[in-house]
Structure 1
Amino acid sequence: MIDEITIRDLGVIAEAVLPLGAGFTAVTGETGAGKTMVVQALGLLTGERAVAGQVRVGSTQSWVEGRWRVPLQSAVAERVRDAGGDIDEVPDGGELRAGDDTAAAADGRFGAGDGGGLGELILSRSVSGEGRSRAIVGGRSAPVGVLSELGERLVVVHGQSDQLRLRSSTAQREALDRFAGPEFAELFGEFSEAYRTWRALQTELDTLVSQRDERLREAEALRVAVGEIEVLGPQPGEDVALAERANRLTNLEDLRVAAAAAREAVSSEELDGRPDVVSLIDGALRQLERVQSHDSALEPIVESLTSASFLVAEISSQLSSYLAELDTDGGAELDDVQERRAELSVLARKYGPSLDDVIEYFATADPRLLELDSDSDRIEELADSLAERAGIVDALAADLTVARSDAAARLSGLVSTELAALAMGGSQLLVDVSAGEELTAYGHDTVQFLLAAHEGAEARPLGRGASGGELSRIMLAIEVVLAASDPVPTFVFDEVDAGVGGASAIEIGRRLARLAEDAQVIVVTHLAQVAAFATNHLSVVKDSDGSVTQSSVQQLRGETRVAEMARLLSGLPDSESGLAHARELLQLAADSR
């Protein structure tokens, strides 16, 4: 709900503050006083395109600000916070309870979650003389697109130059579905679940069928690979072990010469006339053992030499064993090793890049082959399930068509009745529900709102062949009927009463008052019969210099309101007959509440 709008340098308005609030607000004033600037201001605050021509002559920019009351726990509040803005909690806002105000009535449109208290949301927009604009959402700069997103949940404007809210077939179907009520919503939920299951089965089947040839080729390639890998039977780390073995066999002679020389140096009795290591250590040990009893400090040295003697003897034994093993190796084995390495290398290039990758590929091949080989069975199974599920979905879709058709007939009758009372006697709204062959996530139906402008006239889509004032009244009739099932926080009507008067104008006012029971309603009007039903009456007047300043917007009460009503009726604010008629209208409206 909008608490207040501030306008500065917009059109003919120099500065104005409009107190709004819950219920039905009527905005009246002299021709050219800038009443429709209220609609333009709301358009800017809800993301409409800004143009340089909106800036007041002599000013560098125009600026508008709106203060909204919204639930703190709602989709609107969440979007504001996502944009970096803040919503200030209203200290006396209390808890959101059904019937408290229009914000509560429109809780569904806000997308409220857990309810909670109310907060104040401030939106503002500035437009420069060059047509550039800047948006502020909850105290933080934001793209104009954020205003548009919020505007869809906050306000619906019906003006002679505005697009209809229900301009598209999709929007019309959604409105009809909401009007159809909770039983339809339950049926639609059941259909949606069945449709999602059916689509998932269809997608899987389409994938299997479309990729059948490719999957057959994959299966054949897998079988060939499994056969090749199975024949060779590679083992983890085998390529590394073979590389080491090949290196040893290739350098066999060098290894033999080096090992033999080392063994001779360690344990041969003589090496080119010099004693070997064993002999040298034994000699040193004998020398020290001979004098060890004369000095205890030699004891650890003797122990170390003794250990060294045993270690060198062990090394000599290891070298002898190593040489004996080398003598058993031969060139034939090298050929076998190199051949095995070559075979494993081919496998790695095909299914690797490493041998470990080949082994992993082999391990996953059997499950994948099993999956691919079962395609035919799966396709047959899916086809059977799909046929069964399609029958269920078609039956539910048919039920949707029946339910929509029934709701369409009720909606058509109710709106047509409203039109008859809005000076459009003979006009009829037809809600056409056409069931086509194509099945979508919403069933088989295409929904279209059609208007027969008079008895015997061809029914045409909304928006074609009707004047701006007629379109506003059509939308008023639709909104009055839809309000209970499709709540919107705020409705704005500009010149909804164009071309009517008398009793028809009174009925327009009565229906606007009825709509205001469920939502905030703001109406720009020139008819006293409409303004009489308002619970908040604002008058916009021009100053002597032709401008509209803050003091020129007045909230009318008592006799000042009676005088404005008399002016609307007769053009004379102090006419006795006009004043009497004004009081009569106000009493009629009060008695209707």
Structure 2
Amino acid sequence: MLTSLSIKNYALIQSVQLRFDKGFTVITGETGAGKSILLGALGLITGKRADMSSAGDATQKCIVEGVFHIEGYQLHPFFKKHDLDYENATIVRREILPSGKSRAFINDTPVTLAQLTILGSKLVDIHSQNKTLQVVENDFQFEMIDTFSDNLKLLGQYKESFKAWKLSQSELKELLERKKQAQLEYDYQSFLFTELDEASLKEGEYESLEEELNTLSNADEIMQQLATAVQNISLDESGAIDQLTAARASLSRLNNYGAQYTAIYEQLNSALLELEDIGASLSEMSDAVDADPLTLERLNNRMQLLHSLLKKHQVATVEELIDIRNNLDNDLQDIAGVDDKIQALEDKIKTQHNKASTVAAKLHNERATAAPHLKSLVEKLLIELGMPNAQFQVSLATQEDLHASGNDVLEFLFSANKGSELKPLGKGASGGELSRVMLALKSVLSKHKQLPTLIFDEIDTGVSGDIAVKMGGILKKMGRTMQLISITHLPQIAGQGASHFKVYKKDTEERTQTFIEQLDEDARIVEIAAMLGGNQQSQAAIDHAKNLLN
């Protein structure tokens, strides 16, 4: 419920502070006085786009702030989702800066325009002549019949099932596309895998092969140098071993002359033993060198294969080739198993479709039961609104395909005249008739659902006399269960408001300004008398105004 509205530097309004009560509020004023400015200001705090041309003084900031009592609106999830502080008295503010930039705040926390729009749609519902076209929209008609049928819980179950079914359908579409693409690439991927698999790649192979090739490529040089080394340390008379053996024999004769001679003897003996081991190792290494050209050719061929594979797959190591081989193997296995996945998903989709269809059938039955009652209530209200021959019907049929609201094909049909063919509401009703149908539907809806603040902008266009009185009565009844604000030019409606605001323009020394003030009882008599008889207010007009207020 809107409890207060503050407007500063917006259009012709310099500064206005308004307080609103629950129930039915009327707003009146001469044509051009600025009633649309009030709607524009409300539009700003409910998410309408703005520019600096909205400001009265372009050098000053424009501020519109509304306070809403939101207890019972079930808005906690919205505040939690957007990390906003929840307050029963929630403050919504919009600022337009001289630079032209716009800022929005919810409880003093900056928010995006999208967030403000979401909240605004749950707080205020503005109906102008253009907005009345909402009544012909299929989403509104489904909302109307489901709210009237008390179907919202069942509808929630359906939407959950429908969403799961659609998600699985998307997954199946993606899987089929992947299969199609995979089949196009399967032969090539299979060739790549076979090539890598038959190569029998091993980790560390490249480095080992490189070392072997280096050895074989220099086999003659290696054998020659090893042979020379063996000869130099061999047991020949000129070899190092023979020379060290003679030195060891000389030192052995000194062992009895002191410990120091014994120690040096031991060191030399150890060196001689190690040298003998080295000689044996060199001989083994020399024997192991393979200068076989066939072996060299085999290793060169292997290295060329590795180089070819590395270049082909644009990687630097054999380990990366092994990873590619393993990934190709996994991909090929996935392709081989995709049919099983598709079958499993198709079975899941069938089960989900059956579940959603079952709930859709229940929805249809509930709607079909409620449709005649809704028809009766709407036609009764249309009679009160001066349309005694109006016919209203809820056309409901089923189709095979599921959609977001079930499998019903729903359409509101209407005819204003006796004997005329019922047509879809958007084709069979004029603008004024649509306004009355919308009012009738909203009146019914208000008894079944807590509606946001409902604002009617001259919904009474084309209405007068006794019909206007009855329309005012309907608005007054709606005001017993909700907050309703009507901008009207009809005294018969203005007289039935629980509170009354007047919008007027006044010339000051500097500029023309729009003012809005709440009228007391006496001021209401004067205003309604003026609406009845113009500026020349007769006693009859005043008496008539008092009668309307009573």
- TM-score relative to the length of structure 2: 0.79
What does the per-residue CA deviation read over 1:179-237, in whole Å, with 9 as the maximum and x for residues that have no partner?
4323x6426624752673476268537844x6767655655556656655565544333
What does the per-residue CA deviation read over 1:266-304, in whole Å, with 9 as the maximum and x for residues that have no partner?
456566xxx6378469748966994996687x8887766
Q: How does 1:17-28 map to 2 (within 5 A)?
A: 17-28=17-28
SS in 2 for 1:500: coil
Q: How does 1:531-550 map to 2 (within 5 A)?
A: 531-543=494-506
Residue 150 of structure 2 is aligned to residue 181 of structure 1 = yes
Distance, in Å, in 2 between the alignment partners of 1:40 and 1:202 is 42
SS in 2 for 1:423: coil
Distance, in Å, in 2 between the alignment partners of 1:117 and 1:198 is 37
Q: How does 1:402-413 map to 2 (within 5 A)?
A: 402-413=365-376
Letter in 2 for 1:136: A
- Structure 1 residues 535 and 365, CA gap change in structure 2 (3 angstroms): same
Q: Indicate the residue corresponding to 2:44 in structure 1.
A: 44
Contact 1:127 1:134 in 2 (8 A): yes
2:240 aligned to which of 272, 276, 279: 276
Identity of aligned residues (%): 27
- TM-score relative to the length of structure 1: 0.74
Q: Indicate the residue corresponding to 1:256 in structure 2.
A: 223
Q: Indicate the residue corresponding to 1:316 in structure 2.
A: 279
Distance, in Å, in 1 between the alignment partners of 2:284 and 2:139 is 91
Is the deviation greater in 341-350 or in 511-520? Answer: 341-350
What does the per-residue CA deviation read over 1:533-553, in whole Å, with 9 as the maximum and x for residues that have no partner?
433322334447597768x53
- Structure 1 residues 538 and 338, CA gap change in structure 2 (3 angstroms): same
Contact 1:192 1:442 in 2 (8 A): no
What does the per-residue CA deviation read over 1:116-147, in whole Å, with 9 as the maximum and x for residues that have no partner?
7414323224387x9x5623324566665554
1:508 aligned to which of 471, 478, 495: 471
Distance, in Å, in 2 between the alignment partners of 1:518 and 1:288 is 124
Contact 1:24 1:521 in 2 (8 A): yes
Contact 1:45 1:125 in 2 (8 A): no
Pairwise CA distance, 1:383: 6.3
Q: How does 1:100-249 map to 2 (within 5 A)?
A: 117-126=87-96, 132=100, 134-138=102-106, 139=108, 144-162=113-131, 164-166=133-135, 168-182=137-151, 185-186=153-154, 189-190=157-158, 192-193=160-161, 196-197=164-165, 200=168, 204=172, 207-208=175-176, 215=182, 233-249=200-216
Distance, in Å, in 1 between the alignment partners of 2:124 and 2:348 is 46
Pairwise CA distance, 1:492: 0.9
Q: How does 1:160-559 map to 2 (within 5 A)?
A: 160-162=129-131, 164-166=133-135, 168-182=137-151, 185-186=153-154, 189-190=157-158, 192-193=160-161, 196-197=164-165, 200=168, 204=172, 207-208=175-176, 215=182, 233-267=200-234, 269=236, 276=240, 279=243, 283=247, 290=254, 307-326=270-289, 330-343=292-305, 353=315, 354-360=317-323, 363=326, 369=332, 371-373=334-336, 396-436=359-399, 438-462=401-425, 469-543=432-506, 552-559=515-522
Distance, in Å, in 2 between the alignment partners of 1:180 and 1:502 is 34
Q: Indicate the residue corresponding to 1:3 in structure 2.
A: 3
SS in 1 for 2:461: coil
Distance, in Å, in 2 between the alignment partners of 1:202 and 1:16 is 53
SS in 2 for 1:67: strand
Distance, in Å, in 2 between the alignment partners of 1:504 and 1:528 is 12
Gaps of 5+ in 1: 88-115, 588-593
Residue 64 of structure 2 is aligned to residue 65 of structure 1 = yes
Letter in 2 for 1:123: R
* Alignment: residue pair count: 544
SS in 2 for 1:456: coil
Contact 1:497 1:525 in 2 (8 A): yes
- The root-mean-square deviation of aligned C-alpha atoms, in Å, is 4.5
Pairwise CA distance, 1:65: 0.9
What does the per-residue CA deviation read over 1:388-445, in whole Å, with 9 as the maximum and x for residues that have no partner?
7656655554554444444444433333322222233333444444545544344443
SS in 2 for 1:488: coil
Distance, in Å, in 2 between the alignment partners of 1:207 and 1:308 is 74
- Structure 1 residues 6 and 149, CA gap change in structure 2 (3 angstroms): same
SS in 2 for 1:120: strand
Distance, in Å, in 2 between the alignment partners of 1:178 and 1:303 is 108
Contact 2:148 2:445 in 1 (8 A): yes
Q: Indicate the residue corresponding to 1:113 in structure 2.
A: none
SS in 1 for 2:460: coil
Distance, in Å, in 2 between the alignment partners of 1:44 and 1:295 is 109
Letter in 1 for 2:38: V
Contact 1:11 1:34 in 2 (8 A): no
